[in-house]
Structure 1
């Protein structure tokens, strides 16, 4: 008897194996895997992928730049920028940090600048007030030096400030002297009045 492939085995009227209706082909079996086709012949798989990507929805912008993937049976190359560890600082109350589009490796940090952090200390915050988790202890009397000051009015606007070079922080009192007024005889026999 010639050596033929067997695709159907019937024993005692009962079908034990029937490959005749099978539809398997080499391109549908993973590469290197063997099976039998409908004729009973041994076939070796040639397929180099192991997933049906027909329902995949990723786009190039959603895949890291330089990486490749298959979507709906098509190989696509990623376009997403790799930002790595992105870091930023804010230094004002209303500052915002805009996170750049792309991939982040999770190691980046956004923080309050060191200069501003140094200002957020208990002695700079009124007692009982909490700012960013720091509870204030300042009563308002610490390092305060008041100045009582006397000034003479001028004919132009003037700003009255404490003498900070002498360590004064604020004015406790401002005494405004009378506007200078002077009368004197003039050569014409009248009076000259000088104000200010």
Structure 2
């Protein structure tokens, strides 16, 4: 893993990194916004303490632990990544409510265009704020975007101590089953 100086990370502030997306995905995962490490590397969920990649493997979405630099491989599994808010910050609490609401509007447009079967927002607070769903809980939502179903997942940030990697993987696996995605770990072991 490349090490960045504090100055290099700060220089990545407000950068936008491209989505990993295509039309007709099984699941489009949606982060809150890129962190500075992600912006510096150009790879989603790049911070070493982030549990997104390990949880994808543990839940069976991927056959092995992918590195952030291998993010394009997700497309071969019918998966993708986008964000509610495009600009990079050191912490999600640097984003305003208005940015979240506008991000929800833009995300809706993106989902209408790409038409994944499921949109999986990784962060219940981000989902609540972006879509004005104050009472939402982790799991499948009543909201749809066109024919796309929506699932709110726990935030995989290492700062989210409420969710262990095992509990997170169980919730992600519930989505995998609902989306009809095979258990790729089991396939790889067979």
TM-score by length of 2: 0.14
Q: Larger C-alpha radius of gyration, 1 or 2?
A: 1
Structure whose residues are more often strand by fraction: 1
Q: Does 1 or 2 have the higher relative contact order (CA < 8 Å, sep 6+)?
A: 2
Structure whose residues are more often helix by fraction: 2
